[in-house]
């Protein structure tokens, strides 16, 4: 079956009170329209047309060539918006799903159920509906005795009986494509707003004795449309619950789901434990049997299996199996850690590749470096990678030892098995198995500390007398 999608994304969204185009506001790390397009992709829609208006360039910049576009220069209603796709789609055979770009919670399962119901019933049009406790403000679905949809009645037009109906129109539809555009050509704008409504297509189809169905979504929460910041926060909460539930059912332990934020494109392996206060964002991938958190932030990173990340920040980093990170470590873009690496407290790694079994345990900075296997960095050791104009590379080969408070002034190379004595500032290469010492010889001045104390006390007494 050939399935098309039309995404209504032309509204400015004035109630958002934002410079950002409404459908680009994010829910769990992805713009709302991105959620909708991704869901259409997952049900194998052959062609998706996004109707753009205000902020068209920003939407096109985000979605790129994933979809086709039609411009609604003037916002004259939902029916008018769908009509903008006529030139692209009217000759297609098959079904067309019409969905709003500000409904990020509509799921793949709901759209699959919609298409299946539409086909099984042989309908010309099918409305996705929801049954809610308080339908105030929504259009009501009025059915015939046999369950076929008779019409949609807006609340202001409901009589007392219709007002009691709890089944509402969610604004998502499935149509026979050709019948959709034939009916759209008959839609009029003789209403108070002088706009063309997609809901009028339902009335036109029923007046032509075409079959119109209603498909009730299982989870009414999916029907939420985001028009202001309150609805955006609610969508965020519901999406976060859905994401966390998916991970937990997939074998991930989340100690406190209410205190854990995981974005939509994150992948987590089984038997991993996520502690409270953790935020996992972007396209992060986490392996099996990891322990993440508490209070960690991970973005666009790849983490192997058996990894522990405690109270640390990872941004575009790669972490090998069995590695320990934190507490209070910062892995910046380009940090690439091998297996069984130890990154301890207040350590920062940036654009550096570290081999297996490397230890950087305390208060160190490793930037723009290539480090071999089984290298140990002492407390306070750093690579001095920036000369004020350019970044330079530090190389440390296998089995080297870099003592505490060592400065490696790049570009410099420390050979295999070399030993750099604590407190050294290294400006020249160190050969394999060599020991490097680069610090001033210690000088002890006998009794001089007592002289300094006496001198300081005298100055302090003189200052006190001057004040008096």
Q: Which helix (H) or strand (E) holds 116?
A: helix 108-121
Residue 316 or residue 192, greater confidence: 316
77 known ligand binder = yes
Question: Based on the domain organization, do 300 and 417 belong to the same domain?
Answer: yes
Query: 354: domain range?
Result: 229-436
Q: What is the pTM of this model?
A: 0.89
Q: Of residues 25, 80, 247, 362, which has the active-site annotation?
A: 362
Task: Tally Cβ neighbours within 10 Å of residue 51.
Answer: 27
Question: Based on the domain organization, do 118 and 67 belong to the same domain?
Answer: yes
- Report percent pLDDT > 90 for the chain: 82
Which letter does DSSP use for residue 417 in this model? T
pLDDT tens per residue, range 350-390: 999 999 999 999 999 999 999 999 999 999 999 999 988 99
Residues 6+ apart with CB under 8 A from 223: 103, 105, 106, 128, 130, 132, 168, 170, 171, 217
Is residue 117 among the annotated active site residues?
no
- Distance separating alpha carbons of residues 463 and 188, to the nearest angstrom: 93
223, 244, 259 - which closes a domain: 223
404 known ligand binder = yes
On the question of pLDDT at 24 being above 80, the answer is: yes
Question: Based on the domain organization, do 268 and 413 belong to the same domain?
Answer: yes
Question: Based on the domain organization, do 216 and 289 belong to the same domain?
Answer: no
Question: Based on the domain organization, do 194 and 275 belong to the same domain?
Answer: no
Provide the domain count of the chain.
2
- Could you tell me the two tokens for 334? 């380009």
Question: Based on the domain organization, do 218 and 251 belong to the same domain?
Answer: no
Q: By CB neighbour count within 10 A (0-12 exposed, 13-18 middle, 19+ buried), where does 53 fall?
A: buried
In a domain, 369, yes or no: yes
250 known ligand binder = no
Rounded to 10°, the helix 108-121/32-42 angle is: 50
Q: Contact at 8 Å (CB) between 286 and 262?
A: no
In a domain, 459, yes or no: no
pLDDT tens per residue, range 70-116: 999 988 999 999 999 999 999 999 999 999 999 999 999 999 999 99
- Distance separating alpha carbons of residues 216 and 462, to the nearest angstrom: 90
Question: Based on the domain organization, do 153 and 234 belong to the same domain?
Answer: no
Question: Based on the domain organization, do 111 and 42 belong to the same domain?
Answer: yes
Sign of CA dihedral 223, 225, 228, 229: positive
22 known ligand binder = yes
Question: Based on the domain organization, do 195 and 323 belong to the same domain?
Answer: no
Q: Contact at 8 Å (CB) between 309 and 326?
A: yes
In a domain, 400, yes or no: yes
- Report percent pLDDT > 70 for the chain: 100
44 known ligand binder = no
Banded pLDDT at 12 (limits 50, 70, 90):
confident
Question: Based on the domain organization, do 272 and 386 belong to the same domain?
Answer: yes
- Distance separating alpha carbons of residues 61 and 283, to the nearest angstrom: 19
350 known ligand binder = yes
Question: Based on the domain organization, do 127 and 15 belong to the same domain?
Answer: yes
Q: Contact at 8 Å (CB) between 260 and 276?
A: yes
In a domain, 327, yes or no: yes
In a domain, 450, yes or no: no
Closest CA to 33 of 11, 4, 1: 11
> How far is the first Cα of the chain from the last one, in angstroms, to the nearest whole number?
98
In a domain, 451, yes or no: no
- Distance separating alpha carbons of residues 226 and 234, to the nearest angstrom: 9
466 known ligand binder = no
20 known ligand binder = no
- Distance separating alpha carbons of residues 6 and 90, to the nearest angstrom: 12
Most confident among 47-61, 102-116, 431-445 (mean pLDDT): 102-116
Banded pLDDT at 136 (limits 50, 70, 90):
confident
pLDDT tens per residue, range 231-275: 999 999 999 999 999 999 999 999 999 999 999 999 999 999 999
CATH code of 315's domain: 2.160.10.10
On the question of pLDDT at 193 being above 80, the answer is: no
CATH code of 158's domain: 3.90.550.10
In a domain, 464, yes or no: no
pLDDT reported for residue 442: 83
């Amino acid at each position: 079956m050939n399935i098309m999608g039309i995404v209504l994304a032309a509204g400015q969204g004035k109630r958002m009170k934002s410079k950002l185009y409404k459908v680009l506001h994010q829910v769990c790390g992805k713009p709302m329209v991105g959620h909708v397009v991704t869901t259409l992709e997952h049900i194998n829609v052959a062609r998706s047309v996004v109707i753009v208006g205000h902020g068209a360039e920003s939407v096109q910049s985000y979605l790129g060539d994933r979809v086709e576009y039609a411009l609604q220069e003037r916002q004259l209603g939902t029916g008018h918006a769908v009509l903008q796709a006529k030139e692209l789609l009217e000759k297609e055979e098959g079904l067309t799903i019409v969905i709003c770009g500000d409904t990020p919670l509509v799921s793949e399962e709901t759209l699959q159920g919609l298409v299946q119901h539409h086909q099984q019933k042989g309908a010309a049009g099918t409305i996705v509906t929801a049954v809610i406790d308080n339908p105030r403000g929504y259009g009501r679905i009025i059915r015939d005795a046999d369950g076929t949809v008779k019409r949609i009645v807006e609340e202001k037009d409901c009589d007392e009986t219709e007002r009691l109906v709890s089944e509402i129109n969610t604004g998502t539809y499935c149509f026979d494509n050709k019948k959709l555009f034939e009916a759209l050509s008959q839609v009029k704008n003789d209403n108070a707003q002088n706009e063309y409504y997609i809901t009028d297509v339902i009335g036109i189809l029923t007046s032509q004795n075409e079959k119109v169905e209603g498909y009730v979504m299982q989870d009414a929460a999916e029907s939420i449309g985001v028009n202001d910041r309150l609805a955006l926060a609610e969508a965020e909460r519901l999406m976060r619950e859905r994401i966390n539930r998916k991970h937990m059912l997939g074998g991930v332990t989340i100690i406190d789901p209410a205190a854990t934020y995981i974005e939509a494109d994150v992948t987590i392996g089984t038997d991993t434990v996520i502690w409270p206060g953790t935020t996992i964002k972007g396209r992060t991938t986490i392996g099996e049997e990891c322990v993440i958190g508490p209070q960690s932030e991970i973005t666009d990173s790849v983490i192997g299996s058996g990894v522990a990340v405690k109270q640390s920040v990872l941004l575009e980093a790669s972490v090998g199996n069995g590695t320990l990170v934190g507490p209070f470590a910062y892995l910046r873009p380009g940090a690439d850690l091998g297996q069984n690496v130890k990154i301890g407290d207040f350590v920062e790694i940036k654009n550096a590749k570290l081999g297996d079994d490397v230890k950087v345990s305390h208060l160190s900075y490793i930037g723009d470096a290539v480090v071999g296997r089984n290298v140990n960095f002492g407390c306070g050791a750093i690579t001095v990678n920036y000369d004020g104009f350019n970044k330079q590379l530090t190389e440390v080969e296998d089995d080297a030892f870099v003592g505490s408070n060592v400065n490696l002034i790049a570009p410099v190379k420390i050979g295999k098995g070399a030993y750099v004595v604590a407190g050294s500032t290294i400006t020249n290469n160190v050969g394999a198995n060599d020991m490097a010492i680069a610090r001033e010889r210690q000088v002890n001045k006998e009794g001089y500390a007592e002289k300094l104390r006496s001198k300081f006390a005298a100055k302090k007494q003189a200052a006190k007398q001057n004040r008096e």
